[in-house]
Chain A
């Protein structure tokens, strides 16, 4: 670094690691960078001035919360900027936009319908790790930097028996902040409320198997190979309708 500086060119100085970090570099570092925090990866999507405004207003609201303890304003602030962060996603999309879509009506009353559950949350049952890329016991911290490999690879479907207790569930996903689902899997894999609805007779029943996969996956194999097979798995469970939860 000192050698670069001694050349004295403007370019060498700006690449010197001792030069001040730019706001752009700072906000981007939360998205698969030196400060990775997937709850705040949307900062990378914001122009500098908007990211600065998010942070300014966050501190203002934090200052108010110091005195009254009302965290609702902080949650609302993060929510609003989640929405702003992804508002332009469609304009950026190069594919997977459709002019029309299918619709199948529910064939039976809900109280006679058997429900299936499929989530993109990356849950699996302890002892049944799908071992992505052949890696045993991959941690969340190891999975996150491999996001591009997940996005290029086919999905792996994890079978989750519907009566699996929360403590037997594991989760790993390179695309989202898993803090909430680690604390309570029902945040994205709503087994408990579904079982409750079945017991209460609101729904006719539940498929014996729920399913989860890592939603960060290649679309072409998903569309042409995997999702059609998942239809067959649902049919084998005599499912009448499916609840889908992306994260």
Chain B
């Protein structure tokens, strides 16, 4: 239900003229895609870890930059970017 809540927040913000980008794990993509979100960056991460593993600052930075890039590059609703990197534990 967390993802449905954020799907609604994204829709309401965009309707009000505020651009948004969602960062989320792949498991919930079908549910969120069915809400027609504006922009989504999807990570191949384990549930509860959307930005990356704890203390994996490099991955967290990479995911954030992908989201920022999508804010700029997206031209229409339903802009969904799936990042290919698998989840990794920080070493």
Contacts and interface: CB of A to CB of B under 8 A. Distances in A.
B20 A100 contact: no
Interface string B1-45: 111111111111111111111111111101111111110000011
Interface of B: 1-28, 30-38, 44-55, 57, 60-61, 63-65, 67-68, 71-72, 74-78, 86-89
A107 B46 CA distance: 34
Given A72-B88, A79-B45, A247-B48, A215 B6 contact: yes
Interface string A205-217: 0000000010111
A87 B30 contact: yes
Interface string A198-227: 000011000000000101110100110001
A193 B78 CA distance: 25
B47 A96 contact: no
A124 interface: no
25 contacts: A72-B86, A75-B87, A83-B26, A86-B30, A90-B31, A96-B8, A101-B35, A105-B75, A155-B5, A176-B47, A177-B47, A180-B48, A181-B48, A187-B53, A190-B51, A193-B51, A197-B68, A215-B3, A223-B12, A230-B9, A231-B13, A231-B18, A246-B24, A247-B47, A247-B48
B6 A244 contact: yes
Interface in A150-171: 151, 155
B50 A103 contact: no
Contacts of B88: 72, 75
A102 B34 contact: no
A70 to B, nearest CB: 11
A23 interface: no
Interface stretch (A9-17, A49-57, A127-135, A233-241): A233-241
Interface string A76-113: 10110011011101100100111111111111011001
A110 B67 CA distance: 11
Contact of B9 (A103, A178, A244): A244
A215 to B, nearest CB: 3
Contact of B50 (A76, A179, A247): A247
Candidate in B7, B25, B61, B68 with the most chain A CB atoms within 10 angstroms: B68
A74 to B, nearest CB: 10
Given A93-B31, A106-B71, A244 B53 contact: no
A196 B65 CA distance: 11
A183 interface: yes
Interface of A: 38-39, 42, 71-72, 75-76, 78-79, 82-83, 85-87, 89-90, 93, 96-107, 109-110, 113, 118, 120, 151, 155, 175-181, 183-184, 186-188, 190, 192-194, 196-197, 202-203, 213, 215-217, 219, 222-223, 227-228, 230-231, 234-235, 239-247
A190 B60 contact: yes
B30 A101 contact: no
A219 B75 CA distance: 28
Given A101-B35, A187-B60, A197-B68, A39 B48 contact: yes
A194 to B, nearest CB: 7
